[in-house]
Structure 1
Amino acid sequence: MDPTKLISEPVETKKWEKRVGSAAAAPSYELVSFKELPEYMKDNEFILNYYRVNWPLKEAFFSLFRWHNETLNVWTHLLGFVLFLGLTLANLIEVPQVSGLIAFFTRSFPMSGDINVSQDLFVVSELQRTTTNLIDLMSESDVTPVTRWPFFVFLAGSMFCLLSSSICHLFSCHSHHLSLSLLRLDFTGITTMIITSFFPPVYYVFQCDPKWQFIYLGGITVLGMFTIITMLSPALSTKKFRGFRALLFSSMALFGIIPGFHAAIVNWSNPRRNVTLAYESAMAMFYMMGTLFYVSRVPERFKPGWFDLAGHSHQIFHVLVVMGALAHYGASLVFLDWRHGHSC
């Protein structure tokens, strides 16, 4: 027998055991079932599989491109955020001051290395012409320019809600502490979206009566702040208070009935009244249906396990939220267009 084998064999065995041991200790980041979840993640007992648990932030981020039971929850609101970001940019370009600034910068960038003095003079003359046109437009117009900040407040609130929701669903699998923090961020986003949704209709309908602007916008803001403060309580972020959270959000939405009726009376003779009412009614219907799906957990309640990846209640809730926001966006455009020709 070769004596060298007697020496090398234990060494090779130790190396093999070390490799096996290290491979066994390496995390696999596999999806698990509802029964394997820690208690804080057991939110919906009708979704049985495809959960992520204790994933590092890097793995959680790249799970954006994997199939699990949160994939469509993330993407429905992430695509909604991109959609509203595009709408915001499109509306910003329509603002004369912004469009003039964009035109200046786009003309200022050289398209090749052959820029000469005549082209520089052309850029300067174009800037002067654009500035002159804007000044003439503002001075010659007899109609006061429409204040657009309430419209952009609504768009900003919608984007914050949709983005915070996507972040929550993507990274809440990391740890218990981060999950609670992201849930509060998600609830804050929902509340912010509801508050900011009031700004365009209330501001533009009662533009000639600032008293009612202050009462209604102040009222919904105070109610929203109370909701946010309440949601910061760790106990109220648990599944036990799901119904209570839905009640708070619903009460904020129902607050809109009062200014809604008031606005209908004030603008009863407005020829665009029926259009705005149709948009706002659609928004209310989408939000109410979304709340019902959120609370009832239909359809997975009737077929547990069938809708783990696609079609469960929270995904439907997300789609209805985006549709409701789009309906309100349509109503806000009508309000803006109406105010362009009807100042106080």
Structure 2
Amino acid sequence: MSPMEGGALAKKRKPTTTMDHQTSSSSASVDNNYFNVSHNHVTDNKKNKKKKKKKKRNKAKPKRYSLMSYWELPEYMKDNEFILNYYRANWPLPQALFSVFRWHNETLNVWTHLIGFVLFLGLTMVNLLRVPQVADLLGFFARSTPISAVTNVSRNFISQGIMTTNLIELKQMTSQEMEIAAAGHEMSGVAYWPFYVFLGGSMFCLFSSSICHLFSCHSHPLNLLLLRIDYAGITMMIITSFFPPIYYIFQCDPRWQFIYLGGITIMGVFTIITLLSPKLSSGKFRTFRALLFASMGLFGIVPAVHASIVNWGNPRRNATLVYEAAMAFFYLTGTGFYITRIPERWRPGWFDIAGHSHQIFHVLVVLGALAHYAAILVMLDWRNTFGCDNNNAT
């Protein structure tokens, strides 16, 4: 073979070798790509499985809503600028319900009136069951005091001469004794509906207050609705508090019953209608609302002075006035805390969870209602014992 033929042959082989190399390289790259795609597919499947597991775990565990500061709140919830933290806002109803067992700045607001509601529910039940020794809890403690006017609080609570003043246990009361007590209740001739009207009004106020503080964090519309119900509850408690004393003290003069009960009822209806305005539910009108409620309470000064004059010679008058004065003190002091926002005004942030003014206001409201309950026991005792012919009898 000549040199020229050998060169030509070499030239012919060169392209063939390059093509073969390119073909083998492309096939290798295809294999690598296939391997990478399959590897990525397996990795994506694993990631998807992990995401699904996390979703299942998240569904199994309910979301725990966090508390926020005053500055993070929506405008409709900014009511007290001196309470800085531990707020709930825009919580679903189930989470708001179960937050009754969590610590936040409304926890004690809920529980103070919820406990008060349960207390008055218990007093209502024992009175409906006509077991005077249990219903007369305050009278039991009053019997240990040396003041003669107070020691008569629980004597013959249901009927004259049927029940004794000794506290007996429910277990020791037989069905026959309960029937005797019930018969004495009916024979006494005193209407008990004003007493239960007061208890019902107190329970409505305390329960509506607890519900308002528990669920007002849900939404703006529900917040407004619950605030109106709360204000209506306060008004109902004030109105119904007038019914027992005015009814029993002026039982022998129905004209004054009509004048005083009609007057306070009209004031209450006007207050409820006024407070139905969403604008008046805002924090700017806090003082105005407090003055409306206080004016209704101060209306009671007129029938109280009148009743004192009518019953001047009755020794139980003093015991009644002591309890009613205690009620007025608790209510007015509570209103003072409500308006001034003391003590959180002095130390913002210190009383966020416990000790702020609204909690103190709640406690004083319950104490005021209990003092009024004790005063009504004195009036019932007096009316069960003496009729209209001897109002001033001892």
**Quick check: TM above 0.5?**
yes
Inter-partner Cα distance in structure 2 for 1:176 and 1:241: 18
Q: Percent identity?
A: 66
Equivalent residue number for residue 174 of structure 1: 218
Inter-partner Cα distance in structure 1 for 2:316 and 2:179: 35
Deviation string, structure 1 residues 192-227 (Cα, Å, up to 9, x no partner): 000000011100000000000000000000000000
> What does residue range 319-334 of structure 1 map to in structure 2 within 5 Å?
319-334=363-378
Match of 2:383 among 330, 339, 344: 339
Equivalent residue number for residue 117 of structure 2: 81
Residue 226 in structure 1 maps to residue 262 in structure 2: no
Deviation string, structure 1 residues 21-70 (Cα, Å, up to 9, x no partner): 996xx954100000100000000000000001111111111001000000
Match of 2:281 among 237, 241, 257: 237
Equivalent residue number for residue 254 of structure 2: 210
Match of 2:197 among 137, 141, 153: 153
Inter-partner Cα distance in structure 2 for 1:157 and 1:226: 17
Larger Rg: 2
Give the C-alpha shift of residue 7 in structure 1.
2.0
> What does residue range 104-115 of structure 1 map to in structure 2 within 5 Å?
none
Inter-partner Cα distance in structure 2 for 1:315 and 1:7: 61
Inter-partner Cα distance in structure 1 for 2:264 and 2:384: 26
Inter-partner Cα distance in structure 1 for 2:79 and 2:309: 44
Inter-partner Cα distance in structure 2 for 1:37 and 1:135: 55
Residue 291 in structure 1 maps to residue 335 in structure 2: yes
Inter-partner Cα distance in structure 1 for 2:93 and 2:179: 52
Match of 1:12 among 37, 42, 46: 46
Match of 2:361, SS state, is helix
Change (3 A) 1:334 1:169: same
Equivalent residue number for residue 38 of structure 1: 74
Change (3 A) 1:131 1:248: closer
Inter-partner Cα distance in structure 2 for 1:36 and 1:130: 62
Corresponding letter in the other structure for 1:312: H
Corresponding letter in the other structure for 2:382: W
Change (3 A) 1:308 1:199: same
Count of paired positions? 310
Inter-partner Cα distance in structure 1 for 2:192 and 2:114: 25
Equivalent residue number for residue 100 of structure 2: 64
Residue 302 in structure 1 maps to residue 350 in structure 2: no
Change (3 A) 1:133 1:277: closer
Is the CA contact 2:248–2:380 (under 8 Å) kept in the aligned structure 1?
yes
Inter-partner Cα distance in structure 2 for 1:243 and 1:223: 18
Corresponding letter in the other structure for 1:343: G
Give the C-alpha shift of residue 313 in structure 1.
0.2
Inter-partner Cα distance in structure 1 for 2:177 and 2:372: 34
Corresponding letter in the other structure for 1:88: T
Change (3 A) 1:46 1:221: same
Equivalent residue number for residue 119 of structure 1: none
> What does residue range 263-274 of structure 1 map to in structure 2 within 5 Å?
263-274=307-318
The two structures have a TM-score, normalised by structure 2, of 0.74
Change (3 A) 1:319 1:137: closer
Q: Which runs of 5+ in 1 are unaligned?
A: 97-125
Inter-partner Cα distance in structure 1 for 2:350 and 2:209: 24
The two structures have a TM-score, normalised by structure 1, of 0.84
Equivalent residue number for residue 233 of structure 2: 189
Match of 1:307, SS state, is coil
Change (3 A) 1:138 1:53: closer
Q: Which runs of 5+ in 2 are unaligned?
A: 1-31, 133-173, 389-394
Aligned-CA RMSD value: 2.6
